[in-house]
Amino acid sequence: MSQRKKVHYFYHRDVGNYEYAFGHPMKPLRIRMANELIKSYGFDQKMEIYTPKKCSQLEMTKFHSDEYINFLKSVTPQTQNLYPIQMTRFNVGDDSPIFNGLFDFCRISAGGSIDGAERLNKKKTEIAINWAGGLHHAKSSEASGFCYVNDIVLGILELLKYHPRVLYIDIDIHHGDGVEEAFLLTDRVMTCSFHKYGYGYFPGTGNIKDIGLEKGKKYSVNFPMDDGMDDESYVEIFKKTINAVMKYYQPSAIVLQCGADSLAGDRLGCFNLTLRGHGKCVSYIRSFNKPLLVLGGGGYTMKNVSRCWAYETSLLIDEEELPNQLPLHYYYDYYCPDYHLHLEPSSMANKNELKDLDKQYQEIYENLRDIIFVPSVGNRTRPQDFYDKEYKVQTDQYLNEKSDFRFTEKDLNTQIDPINEFYQSSIYKSRKKLWTPKKPTEKSQFFDLQSIDRFNIFKKHLFDNYNSISGQEKEHGKIFKKKRK
């Protein structure tokens, strides 16, 4: 048995209350089921349990666009018909529907990942677990694959405040396209995804030739696989690839996405992994003794998802081998007819030839040999932690919805926001683009977080208080603009 590590576990009691839509395969209830199984095993006595702080709108805009986050915050199932253009633009609809409590669900998911990253930064824990996270498909300005806010990217951005290099590993059956896209141009984050790749399979990205761009070239590692991947083949190729990545990249922190849709019997998956095979990958990553943020992800057979995450929690806290008979708990009846922890693989054929897997590994290994050995990071000012007390007071001052602050007419007529924002009145729609803030450079887009914060705070400050201006003042603003023309 290896040495027991300090583990912090994040769970919000409301997360299981949300429902995407009737018949939708993504069910947040699976997170509550996993938590109940974890408690029934007594694991809550062997790690520290925390309710995550809900992520703020400001923190979400470290990666996502303001327009997109404002839309998620304001839209409801009852009002979605009023936003036909935005629904299309932000890719919200059948796969990623609008449901009651959507924004709060995103806040819980992202808050757990950021909170875990912050505790790893401060060395309060060695492993942080957030099974409500791992939503790896969300893009900067659109939802995708049941994912709205990319908690993984936000967590990695928090880790980058302290860690020069972060490794992201994805064992979901779907390619982690949203995370790869976010860090496509940098060498400070290496993304490594093991996934099903083929014609017509979502999201259609993750070819072995997709290796990153510019400064991030060869820092994206993709291992595409075919149907029927079994434990033996998967674990062997996983360990070989990760061993090479650790050798040449030497990250100072690791983020592991544990999507359970790669298990046998998943509603949307086509692999044939068991809990033991999936769990061996988690144990192998744990063995490197790096600060580790462990997240959930996909998984659409609820009872298998909860089994998987409970079992992998036991591995992370270094628990002894669990009995196969499940303990009695609230959701016990969901596991009928056998009420067992472990899954049996199905009889599906493994379409992955060993020679093809070795060939792909060799190609990945050659790419890793070509990267700069242990990329260095220059001296820079570290951005403030999001949960620092002084910083929180500063942001609350601006984001308080009941603030009575008012802008002068001069402010309203000279500070013009980008034309593609959403405005609630004709005075904004008729404005010309007289002032545009300087866009951050490629480098600062990810790492100069303080300047981005100041810009986002200013915009939030402007729009949230515009409604406090009287109708007469708005009308005067129109007249003033006409005279100015």
Query: Where is the binding site, in residues?
Result: 95, 145, 172, 174, 261, 300
**Binding-site annotation: residue ranges for substrate:** 95, 145, 300
- Set 64, 136, 137, 163: catalytic member: 137
**Binding-site annotation: residue ranges for a divalent metal cation:** 172, 174, 261
Distance CA 178, CA 154 (A): 12
Distances (CA, A) of 192 to 147, 184, 403: 19, 12, 45
Distance CA 485, CA 476 (A): 14
In sequence order, what are the residues at sequence separation of 6 or more whose Cβ sits closer than 8 angstroms to the Cβ of residue 250?
A: 165, 374
Say what angle helices 275-286 and 231-249 make with each other, to 10 degrees: 20
Give 33's DSSP letter. Answer: H
- Is 278 assigned a catalytic role? no
Kindly state the helix (H) or strand (E) to which residue 166 belongs, with its residue range.
strand 166-170
Distance CA 96, CA 216 (A): 30
Asked if 280 and 194 touch (Cβ cutoff 8 Å), the reply is no
The number of helix segments (H) and strand segments (E) in the chain equals 17, 8
H, E, C per residue of 7-23: EEEECCCCHHHCCCCCC
Q: Which amino acid is at 191?
A: T
Phi/psi for 193 (5° steps) reads -120, 135
Asked if 145 and 202 touch (Cβ cutoff 8 Å), the reply is yes
Asked if 221 and 192 touch (Cβ cutoff 8 Å), the reply is yes
Tokens (6 digits) for 274: 């068991």
Distances (CA, A) of 63 to 60, 150, 156: 6, 8, 11
Q: Hunting for tokens 């990623």 — which residue is that?
A: 96
- Residues annotated as catalytic are 137
